[in-house]
Amino acid sequence: MKTSTSEKLYYSISEVENMTGVKPYVLRFWEKEFNLLRPKKNQAGNRSYQKKDIDLINQIKHLLYEQGFTIDGAKTRLRSLRHEDLGPLVAEKMRLQNLLAEIRKELSELLEILS
């Protein structure tokens, strides 16, 4: 049975990869680049991501992969979004845009198979 993101407080890096489509090595790199992304670590040193971290990862992914920002540009944009305090609505919009992009990709792959 799949657990929804609202049921758990913490997620492993592999769960975050499954939810966001971002590879663990990219997540670790983003932690170094984006000061806002700081997942907690347990006693074994494993990362524990919260919902707010996953929302931020989706925002970063959207800015870099869909909007074409550079790392520095994405940092600047995130700072301006934080100052505007758009918060959950922007995160939800980006999550939905990411979902639509994934659906489009899957549909185009299916179309290729059928052709």
Which tens digit of pLDDT belongs to each residue from 84-112?
A: 555 666 667 777 888 888 899 899 999 99
Q: Taking the domains of the chain in order of start, what are their residue ranges?
A: 13-114
pLDDT at 110: 93
Rounded mean pLDDT, 8-22: 94
Residue at 108: amino acid letter: S
Q: CA 52, CA 37: separation in Å to the nearest integer?
A: 9
> Residue 47: which residues within 8 A CB-CB, separation 6 or more?
12, 13, 27, 39, 40, 41
Instruction: Say if residue 14's pLDDT is above 50.
Output: yes
For residue range 65-75, what is the model confidence (pLDDT) as tens digits?
A: 999 999 999 99
Cβ(27)–Cβ(56) below 8 Å: no
CATH class of this structure's domain 13-114: mainly alpha
Rounded mean pLDDT, 51-79: 92
Cβ(91)–Cβ(59) below 8 Å: yes
